[in-house]
Amino acid sequence: MNQGGDMCLCPKPGEWAKGKMVGSGSFGSVHLAMNKSTGGLFVVKSAESQTALDSLENEANILGNLSSPHIVKCIGREKLKGVRKLNLFIEYMAGGSLADIADKFEGVLDERMVRVYTREILKGLVYLHNNGVVHCDLKCKNVLLSSSGNIKLADFGCAKKQNGSMTNSSLTKSSESICGTLLWMAPEVMRKEGVDYAADIWSLGCTVIEMATGKPPKWGDQISDPMAAVYKIARSNETPKFPAGFSKEGLDFLHKCFERNAKKRWTSEKLLQHPFVCDKPEVRNALNVNICSPSSVLDAGLYEEDEDDFMSKEPICEREINRRIPFTMRSSGERDCLSNRHCTNSPIASSGNWITVRIS
């Protein structure tokens, strides 16, 4: 059996086998697959409807021009003759998605791991924005983990190629349909004012909340009414409810992500230097912010009023964080420490109930 890069070579027509379905969405299905020649595993995204084909073609074109350790790798595509169908071959990420953490284990991430994952997500965003790409659908479901816990951004069906520099924060007006997942979508995008790199930063803030709570961003008391929540995002001056127990650094980071004025929202490069994700002592000392983090692996209460109960005064060591076993790779015994959460029948209580949509 070939090793190394040969394992990820694009399979020749007929030289691959499709396995079980590992995911699906509004734009197609995702199956595990194997290269018969090398034994290498990958995933195949398939589309047949015109909308799904357009999305998959867009993803193939975007990924074909990207190469980064923080972005999933596209290893090829296959068009079937005489049939309106496209198969897109993408590297297999054995750890699943960040959304699987909540879906499979009914838990949430410790803030120390949220910091680590947020930093890695930002590295991916910096690469995308420097290459003129807006992801447009950032959420935990579209952040994948390898078996070793390394993460990569995935699902570029909604992504858009920009002509301007990432330092130009002005929104680009567009008559094209917008695409994304509503509760993670920036207000200016919902108002169809255009798509810009700043939209990814808003979605990043939503993703941080999702990691910290195991739920989609919560908009006040509108949890039972999805459309009311959507209206609040687009038209109000509010921000989603921040996680209880978050450190001062974490709260400040979220405020930078949820700046209503897209022109004033921090860029991915600037956020990468924020003390929430940057472990440089001089940065923390300059802002005089104490590093605080939850004292347990998982927090049972997500929106408690008494935040001090969740705080730890111990400083965070980056090497200690990097040595920690990723949550999704913990043993069953360690997972027994997960806190039970109350279930709800609310239509927006689970991120699994929200899919990517297009708005014309």
Amino acid in position 173: K
**Among residues 160, 133, 130, which one has the least CA distance to residue 55?**
160
- Dihedral (Cα; 259, 139, 127, 165), 10-degree rounding: -40
Q: Cβ-count burial of 196 within 10 angstroms (0-12 exposed, 13-18 middle, 19+ buried)?
A: buried
First to last CA, the chain: 48
Instruction: State residue 70 phi and psi, 5-degree precision.
Output: -105, 5
Q: Give the Cβ contact number of residue 333 at 10 Å.
A: 7
Angle 248-257/197-213 helices, nearest 10 degrees? 140
Instruction: State residue 99 phi and psi, 5-degree precision.
Output: -65, -25
Amino acid in position 298: L
155 is catalytic: no
Instruction: State residue 78 phi and psi, 5-degree precision.
Output: -145, 120
Q: What is the b/e burial string over 11-48, where b = at least 16 CB atoms within 10 angstroms of the residue's CB?
A: beeeebeeeeeebebebbbbbbbbbeebebebbbbbbe
Dmax (CA) of the chain: 65
Question: Of 54, 100, 110, 137, which residue is the catalytic one?
Answer: 137
Q: 139 labelled as ligand-binding?
A: no
Residue 173 · residue 186 · CB < 8 Å: no
Could you give the residue numbers annotated as active site? 137
Which residues carry a binding-site annotation? 45
Which residues carry a binding-site annotation for ATP? 45
